Each structure stands twice: as C-alpha cells, then as structure tokens.
Amino acid sequence: MELVETLIEDARWDGLGLARLAERAARAALAGVGLSGEGFAIGLMGCDDARIAVLNADFRGKPQPTNVLSWPSEERGAEFAGEAPDLPEPGAADDPESLGDIAIAWETCAAEAEAQGKPMGEHVTHLIVHGVLHLLGYDHIEDEDAALMEGLEVRILASLGVSDPY
C-alpha cells in the first residue's frame, strides 16, 4: 500500500519523479526511527514558490517562499530537549494513521540544490526525510533536538546512498 499520497501542483515535479522519490524517502525515515511504513499515511504537495509563500504566510506568518513545510496531524514532540518523541501507533491497512502533510517548493529546492552543488533528487530526498521527521515530532529549535534530528537524517540518508547534507 502507498504510504505517501502525492499531489502535483507544479508539473516540474513530475519530471523529477517526486511521487516515487517521496515514497522511498518517507519509508526510509519511518524505518530509521523503527516504524514500518504500513498503517501510516502522509500527504505531500509538490508546488511552486508562489504557493508555498502563501502557505508560509498563512501558517507561520512569514510571507516568503521556503523549501519545505510540514503539518503534523497531532502534537508529537518530546517532553525534554534531546529526547526522541513518542512514536505513533499504526492504523489498520484500510484505515491508516495520518501523520500529516508536507509541501515542497520547486524553485527554492532547485536553487538550494544548485547553490550546494547537489543533485536535485538528493536534496529533495533530504527535505522529505526532514519533513517526515517533523511529522513524527522531531524538531531543531533547541540545540539538543537539532543534534538528534540531524544525526537521524544523516543515518537515514546514508541508508539511501545519499551523502551527509551537513
């Protein structure tokens, strides 16, 4: 069963194979924290900078584009800085537990990949892993949380053959 339901609003994402890439990245992210991809659902929107700027303004009060946004279906943060959050329980195959939604913007991602000298697919894979970890309650506001999240990202990406983004 499909873990990630992908909505393409900008056709450039089709050329990158966003749906396939997102499925692989999301499954790796869940496996990286000890969860199976079964019994969960994630929504992903591949959009452009104009669309994500509106979302960023509406939800974060920042009226400019960003690379990725995530909306967890519920609060899952850890009780103490540097601790892993409690993991959600999977739903049934015919009624999966929604982890939340992610939006990713083409122009910002492409510009970042180019500036960092990375293949677009690898950069987007990193951002999807990052977004899925946010859906699971990981964050990077406190230094201890950032170290935990970044360490997880590096290990998950390595499992996919993607080099350390940091």
Binding-site positions for Zn(2+) read 130, 134, 140
Q: How far is CA 43 from CA 50, 92, 112, 151, in A?
A: 19, 17, 23, 25
Which residues have CB under 8 Å from 13's CB, separation 6+? 46, 104, 106
Residues contributing to the annotated binding site: 130, 134, 140
Q: What are phi and psi of 2, to 5 degrees?
A: -70, 130
Tell me whether residue 116 is exposed, middle or buried, using C-beta atoms within 10 angstroms of its C-beta: 0 to 12, 13 to 18, 19 or more.
Answer: exposed
